[in-house]
Amino acid sequence: MTTSGPQVLGTEHTVPEPRRYRYRWLWRLRHSPTGMLGAVIVLGVVLVVLLGAAIAPHDPELIDLKQRLVPPVWAEGGSVGHVLGTDQLGRDVLSRIILGTRVSLLVGIAGVALAMLTGVFLGVTTGFWGGWWDGLVSRFLDTFLSIPFIILALAVIGVLGVKGGNNMLRLILVLGLANWVIFTRVVRGEVLAVKERDYVEAARAIGQRSWMIMLRYILPNVTASIIVLGALQISTVIIAEASLSFLGLGVQPPTITWGIMLADGRDHLATSWWLATFPGIAITITVLGFILWGDWLRDVLDPRLRE
Amino acid sequence: MTTYLASRLLQMVPSLFLLTVVLFALMRLGGDPVMHLAHPEASPEEIAEIRAAYGFDRPLPEQYLKQLRMMLRGDFGESFRFRSPALPLVLEKLPATMELAAVSMLVALLIAIPAGLLSAIFQNSPLDLGVTTTSTLGRAMPNFWIGIMLILLFAVHLGWLPVSGRLETTSIILPALTLGTSVATSLARILRSSMLEVIRQEYMTTAKAKGLHRWAVVLGHGLRNALIPFITVFGLQMAWLLGGSVIVEEVFAWPGMGRLLLNSVKVRDLSVVMAGVCVFALVVMGTNLLVDFLYTALDPRIRYSSS
């Protein structure tokens, strides 16, 4: 590797820091192959969502019973018209995976956004004010932590009912409810440190209201952790959405999601392996993208969050 | 130690209390309980009669206290699906779930400890790269999909193992592998990073210097110290594993609590849902308590006082 930076004795090489701070994140991305891979995957997934029907080779809901359970193109009996094969109703698997991306990403992002809003609000206020409010929320936190996510989701969905109503909205609500805890925990811890800083003391001294202090002095200083956590949580929430939809508790057909496709595929496992294989690969690639991208964001923005 | 145990048990009380509040609120959010009890064509007078008979016309706090007293006696009401008390129904399924959880944890430890240890000792070797890559991939794969793929390979394709159920002793292999591998990925990751930290400690050099065998150093001095953060994550993973068991039980038709809970949610058999959630939460809290005690066994520096 050739470098133009100052050489320090005893080190093999030093990589120069670019002069312009504005582009430093880009420079760091270039030097992190896994971060790059993550960013490319995330970008690709977003493109698939935006283009959607335009790049799908077939209408994902078009039923063609003459083309039932056609294997993928490279397998025996496969057809070029259906690259990843067709399902039990003759619908094109590739097109359904492409359209399924939309729900997964939408629910993932909305669920995280809801958890983030609730969690950050509670984290900032409990960390800043402390007292009985902190005590109360902390107890709730402990309670929520003692219930595994799926169990909590089951309780809420059990009460609200599986059928009827807007099940996408219900799913987002459940995912938000199950994930606020981690935001509150991390943000509260950060706020406890930040609120001891001199500038917060100064703001207090000049008589700023506590809301103003929280918004203008505390929140901006915990934003990095929030962004990193948000990116990493998207991957968790995408898997959670797939799990709930797989169990028949999430989004309901005819909406296309990867979880529902996997549930359908499981019923035809003995004859048609591709139905349960490809949606799973789609989930894995998408989640992997968000994990790598989130890990990279963490290393750049907030290395302290590293376990 | 006894005082510590007592104080830890006491600390569980507020969490459990809040849990009952949350469950009560959820049940009431689910709609008028009288409507579940009354005949579909009941007259308003009949409905009012039922309401009074069950005490649903009393103020909410009073109703809650009544419910709490019932829950404390282990009375969660009757399952309308099975026409029998809810709690025994759940407890009857507890052994199957615990069996699956225990075997899965064993699988996870058998994979994670050698993998994490070896990848830390041979840092940056191909073996290390393999372990870290696999564990990142494992983080991205939904565990139920891993289960489906295992069924496809070992049951459908090779025909070595039963697809589902709990009739043969070999039935547990696939579900335990599914749950175990997904836990193993995060356990291996944490063991690797804590082991890497321990390796750099001076007592490791001292142990090496006094001529101990390489593996005696690694296992006697290294692993023992690296296990402390590992145990923390182990406790958290136990909660995760119990949650994950719901979906794995569904995939493999394993007759445990999770599957009962899931099916009860689908038909809104709320008393079973609530009893199931409570039992799950209690098991998780109990596990966390157990993990706390494991600390003392591993690290004599940690002494428990009642303060």
Radius of gyration of chain A (CA): 24
pLDDT block averages, 10 residues each, chain A of length 307: 45 53 68 85 91 80 77 76 78 86 89 93 89 86 79 80 72 87 88 85 86 85 86 89 88 85 86 87 93 86 62
pTM of the full structure: 0.83
pLDDT < 70 regions, chain B: 1, 29-40, 54-55, 296-307
Q: Closest by alpha carbon to A129, among A181, A180, A195?
A: A195
Phi and psi torsions of B25, nearest 5°: -60, -45
Helix (H, G, I), strand (E, B), or coil: what is residue A79?
strand
* Tokens coding A146: 């003692």
pLDDT of residue A2: 43
pLDDT of residue A8: 46
Q: Is A177 on the interface with B (CB under 8 A)?
A: no
Q: Closest by alpha carbon to A233, among A63, A108, A71?
A: A108
pLDDT of residue B136: 86
Nearest CB among A146, A269, A292 relative to B152 is that of: A269
| Cis, peptide link before residue A16, omega less than 30° from 0 | no
pLDDT of residue A3: 43
| Record: contact A143-B19, CB cut-off 8 A | yes
Q: What number of C-beta contacts closer than 8 Å exist between A and B? A: 149
Give yes or no for a contact between A237 and A175, defined as CB atoms under 8 angstroms apart. Answer: yes
Phi and psi torsions of A82, nearest 5°: -125, 90
Q: Is the C-alpha dihedral spanning A131, A133, A134, A136 positive or negative?
A: positive
* Tokens coding A124: 């900032």
Which residues, including other chains, have CB under 8 Å from residue B48's CB and lie 6 or more apart? B57
pLDDT of residue B307: 38
* Tokens coding B102: 């225990």
Q: Is A268 on the interface with B (CB under 8 A)?
A: no
The structure tokens 């109990």 sit at B286
Q: Which residues of A touch B27 (CB under 8 A)?
A: 159
The structure tokens 């159920």 sit at B165
Helix (H, G, I), strand (E, B), or coil: what is residue A82?
strand
pLDDT of residue B32: 63
Q: Is the C-alpha dihedral spanning B211, B214, B216, B219 positive or negative?
A: positive
b/e burial code for range B238-265 (CB count within 10 A of at least 16 → b): bbbbbbbbbbbbbbbebbbbbbbbbebb
Q: Is A136 on the interface with B (CB under 8 A)?
A: no
pLDDT of residue A11: 46
Which ipTM value was assigned to this complex? 0.80
> Which residues 89-108 of A are in CB contact (within 8 Å) with B?
none
Cβ atoms within 10 Å of A208's Cβ, excluding its own: 16
> Which tens digit of pLDDT belongs to each residue from B30-79?
666 666 666 667 777 777 777 777 667 777 778 888 878 887 887 777 77
Q: Nearest 5 degrees, angle CA B127-CA A293-CA A263? A: 85
Q: Which residues sit opposite B78 in a β-bridge? A: B85
| Record: contact B148-A265, CB cut-off 8 A | yes
Cα–Cα dist B47/B27, whole Å: 19
* Tokens coding B288: 């966390």
